Amino acid sequence: MEVPQFIESYRLSNGLLVIFEPMPDVQSAALSLLLPAGGIRDAAGRCGTAAILSEMFPRGADGLSSRSLCAALDNLGLQRNFQTGSAHITFSAATTADRLTDALPLIARMVLQPHLHDDDFEPARDLVAQGLLALEDEPRQQLGRILRQYSYAAPWGNPSEGELADLEQITPADIRRHHQQCVVPESAILGIAGNLDSAQLQQTLESVFGSWQGTAPAEVAIGTRPASPFHQHHESAQTHLGLAWDTVRYSDPRYYEAWAAVSLLSGGMSSRLFTEVREKRGLCYAISASLSTLKDDARVMAYAGTTTERAQETLDVTVQEILRLSEGITEDELQRCRARAKSSLIMQQESTSSRAGSLARDMYLLGHFVSLQEIHDRIDALTVDGVRQFVIDHAPTSMVLVSIGPQAPDPSCLPQQH
């Protein structure tokens, strides 16, 4: 692929990969730092270690108390967030362009030299536990966790937000070990976008991150995934349904056809699932499908929330619509997909946070970055025949089914059981 000349990519002396996109027409700047310390690195029986570490990063660093660190970052107007995913802990930040370089030394201290004191451990663990307990009152989010566990082999299917049963086994020493072994420059990726001077930025990054040392953690061993269907009993007037099936990953040449197929299914109020299952038949109050892609694997994941009395019919009709997606695809449908995508691209073009996140994510998933113009061109190149052929070639031959409610649905409508 021809590299756009305006996007820069380089490594610091310690191996940290940096991707920078100058955006001279905006007044902001943002960064996205991917640390190879996500949930897949949690030790067996200690699922939640990465999530607790994410909570502990802002609790003081390199001689600065939690309050002092927070005040210093707030004084720079830095909007910031730590998020724990499967592969990475991601630190995202944004502020005005003239202040981001001033914030970089504080960010480096927080990430590289967090206090990780014993006194801060229990409050951080309690916050993770509270988040997990809140999920028990949100069946839709709970279903998403379960669907992922049944869709991807461990540890990729493990919940990055942790497991309640494991939290009591985690110690402050586990957190410090996780930081030492996984928060390293090798395999880390830093995406930056905004109205910044390239030479000054590179010099500042080398100054604040150059002393950071450490080699990439070893590849994780891939386990197995449990067999579905799976049902979790829950007395309620509602039933929540989750489906998943194989598709192509982000690096696949036909990824944009896969994206268009999912958009036809669930890309707004004119999409197939919304129209056929919700509007015409009134079977459910919520229905959606999305494309989930890891570096080496991908699934389409669908959700439907309905009344218990209509759960079986909802499942039957949803599966039917998925399996007959190739029938009657029109240019009008595809054009609506293109229009939604282009609206999203325009918003990305104006958002430094979106661009910084996309640059880092593209480098991780693809090994190169993708310009907005290239995405635009790939979307414009989609054809009805191409999308239809993709749907035929990748029609589900099996599906994962998980459900939460008073009664397990009959899975006989699925093309094949795991």
pLDDT in tens, 27-51: 999 999 999 999 999 999 999 999 9
Confidence check: pLDDT of 5 > 70: no
Residue-level pLDDT at 346: 78
Long-range contacts of 261-265 (CB under 8 A, 24+ apart): 261/325, 261/387, 261/390, 261/391, 261/394, 262/289, 262/290, 262/291, 262/300, 263/337, 263/340, 263/341, 264/325, 264/329, 264/333, 264/334, 264/337, 264/387, 265/289, 265/300, 265/302, 265/321, 265/322, 265/325
Confidence check: pLDDT of 349 > 80: no
pLDDT in tens, 225-268: 999 999 999 999 999 999 999 999 999 999 999 999 999 999 88
Mean pLDDT of 363-386: 92
Confidence check: pLDDT of 373 > 90: no
Residue-level pLDDT at 372: 85
Mean pLDDT of 46-63: 97
Question: If you compute the radius of gyration of the chain from its CA atoms, what whole number of angstroms results?
Answer: 23
Confidence check: pLDDT of 303 > 70: yes
pLDDT in tens, 184-193: 999 999 999 9
Q: At what angle do helices 372-380 and 331-349 cross, to 10 degrees?
A: 170
Confidence check: pLDDT of 3 > 80: no
Lowest mean pLDDT among 166-170, 201-205, 310-314, 340-344: 340-344
CA distance 123 to 55: 9
Q: Is 225 exposed, middle or buried (0-12, 13-18, 19+ CB in 10 A)?
A: middle
pLDDT in tens, 186-223: 999 999 999 999 999 999 999 999 999 999 888 899 99
According to DSSP, the residues that pair with 125 across neighbouring strands are: none
Q: At what angle do helices 384-393 and 255-266 cross, to 10 degrees?
A: 90
User: How far is the CA of 405 from the CAs of 40, 237, 308, 410, 411, in angstroms?
Assistant: 29, 8, 7, 13, 15
What letter does residue 308 receive in the DSSP assignment?
Answer: G
Other CB atoms within 10 A of residue 14 CB = 16
CATH number of 8-209: 3.30.830.10
| Edge-to-edge strand list for the sheet holding 230-233 | 230-233, 400-405, 238-246, 298-307, 284-293
CA distance 81 to 189: 16
Residue-level pLDDT at 267: 82
Residue-level pLDDT at 6: 84
Q: Phi, psi (5° rounding) for residue 244? A: -145, 145
From the options 3.30.390.30, 3.30.830.10, 2.130.10.10, 3.40.50.720, give the CATH code of 230-413.
3.30.830.10
Confidence check: pLDDT of 4 > 80: no
pLDDT in tens, 120-135: 999 999 999 999 999 8
pLDDT in tens, 69-93: 999 999 999 999 999 999 999 999 9
Q: Where are the domains of the chain?
A: 8-209, 230-413
